[in-house]
Amino acid sequence: MSTPQLPKVAGNDPSIPSPAHTAATAAPGALIQDRLAGWVSDLTTLHELTERLVRTGTLTDALHELLRAGAALVGARRGLVVLEPADGLGPTDTVGLGLAHADLGHIETVPRSATSYGRILEGLPDAAAVAVPDLLSDTELDPRHREVAARLGYAASYALPLTAEIFGRIGAAVWLYDEPAEPTERQRHLVGLYARYAGEHLTRLLELERARTKVATVAEELLPSRLPRVSGVQLAARHRTGPRGGGDWYDALALPEGALGLAVGSVTGSGPSALAAMGRLRASLRAYAVMEGEDPVAVLSDLELLMRLTEPARAATALFAYCEPAQRKIVLAGAGHTPPLVIGERRCEFIETSLSAPLGMLACWEAPSVEFSPQPGETVLLSTDGLLHRTGEPMDRAYARLHAAAASVPPGLLDDPGAIADHVLHTVLPDGLDAVDSAEDVVILAARFA
């Protein structure tokens, strides 16, 4: 009986034992697998970090996230980022990680040219990325820099420029090590990739911030630069503009015979066109108030007629009050607007205006006026719907919140209309909700009668 033969494979003789070195040929394959696993891990890390970054909606939040992610990538514990666009148009900011405000102040006392981030911001040719692995042993280090480093307890730094295609250089980030150290080549590669993406994201936020600043500037220019002084009345106003620029406005103007006109309103829409419409309506209302302010219904009727002729695609809410401080008498009319509140020691209540549609919604607006008399020391609080909408609650609950906020004004603040406006604003919109990005403007106008 013949011995069975093993099957052959092309190019190999199975009857010949493998050489001893064949087992070692698996090493390159394992090395490649390890390298691929490392790349996958790095890509996953970058994806997670950039996802966190893209969720930030403000420059400050993005700068904080940039510092946290960069510190994790280079193995540092502290750092700072300086936002300083090369075109000089701002905004500028300095944010720290693990550094108190006083620590940042100490660092800023070092001559800028002696710091790694300063070399980047000044555009020195060797400042693409600046690593200082041992600050205290660097013989060329500025003495003041050495003193600050010793005081704050950092011994090494690694800095990167923040750039973008549109603006070029927009800032610099530097991470600080507690001991002499520097990032590995792999760490430098990863943080470099992250910084390039962060630069583009910061650019988008920078453009948005500049647009918001322009919108806020235009909105403020369209509103009263100062409130008038009228005997028997103290006035205060608070205004928050949404990021796209809404159409909310307020006004207070001295009228003949010691009278005072108070107005708040809101134009539909947002952006430059809404701001322009708001400016036109506010100017028109001022003119009508001077001519026939003692009849608020006539003022709003004329404004509604003007809107139908010049702003046919828009609607607006408005409230106008004609005040005679000497007699403590107020006559007001509202067009689809939030009614005013009367706040005093003995009462806190809405002054109910008759139900009416906003201006521009019907073929002809008409509603009766309301007359009331504030008592000495009482404050009349006018506001726009944005204050209610920013709460995110149904309107009935938002109204209840507004009333509760007004009723909770401490007795010691009742003689200061500005303090009343602030209390109501921050109580209705707590935890910074009055300052967050919102499509809604907020206007509060407070008038305290002696």
Alpha helices in 346-437 (DSSP H): 386-389, 395-407, 417-428
345 and 413 share one domain: yes
Of 171, 188, 213, the domain-final residue: 213
386 and 416 share one domain: yes
200 and 75 share one domain: yes
Alpha carbons 38 and 43: distance in angstroms, whole number = 9
149 and 66 share one domain: yes
22 inside domain: no
Q: Give me the torsion for CA of 223, 226, 232, 238, rounded to 10°.
A: 60
Three-state SS for 426?
helix
161 and 104 share one domain: yes
18 inside domain: no
Of 164, 195, 213, the domain-final residue: 213
Burial of 168 (0-12, 13-18, 19+ CB in 10 A): middle
DSSP state of 8: P
39 inside domain: no
Q: Check if the beta carbon of residue 337 is closer than 8 Å to that of residue 365.
A: no
422 and 314 share one domain: yes
Q: How many domains does the chain have?
A: 2
Cα 203 to the center of its chain, rounded Å: 15
Place of tokens 């990032």: 183
398 and 269 share one domain: yes
Range of the domain at 171: 46-213
Alpha helices in 75-183 (DSSP H): 101-108, 116-121, 143-152
29 inside domain: no
Alpha carbons 187 and 178: distance in angstroms, whole number = 17
Q: What is the CATH number of the domain that holds 183?
A: 3.30.450.40
197 inside domain: yes
19 inside domain: no
Three-state SS for 115?
coil
Q: Which amino acid is at 69?
A: A
User: What would the pLDDT profile of 197-215 be if each residue is shown by its tens digit?
Assistant: 999 999 999 998 888 788 7
307 and 427 share one domain: yes
Token output for 319: 């409230």
174 and 238 share one domain: no
Three-state SS for 241?
coil
Alpha carbons 283 and 280: distance in angstroms, whole number = 5
Q: Check if the beta carbon of residue 215 is closer than 8 Å to that of residue 223.
A: no
Which regions of the chain are under pLDDT 50?
A: 1-26
Of 195, 213, 231, the domain-final residue: 213
Alpha carbons 342 and 232: distance in angstroms, whole number = 16
324 and 373 share one domain: yes
346 inside domain: yes
Token output for 372: 């009331």
Confidence (pLDDT) at 244: 63
Ramachandran sector of residue 369 (left: φ over 0; alpha: ψ -120 to 50; beta: rest): beta
15 inside domain: no
284 and 344 share one domain: yes
275 and 358 share one domain: yes
Beta strands in 188-301 (DSSP E): 233-240, 247-255, 259-267
Q: What is the CATH number of the domain that holds 257?
A: 3.60.40.10
Give the list of residues 6+ apart from residue 148 with CB closer than 8 angstroms, or none: 106, 107, 109, 110
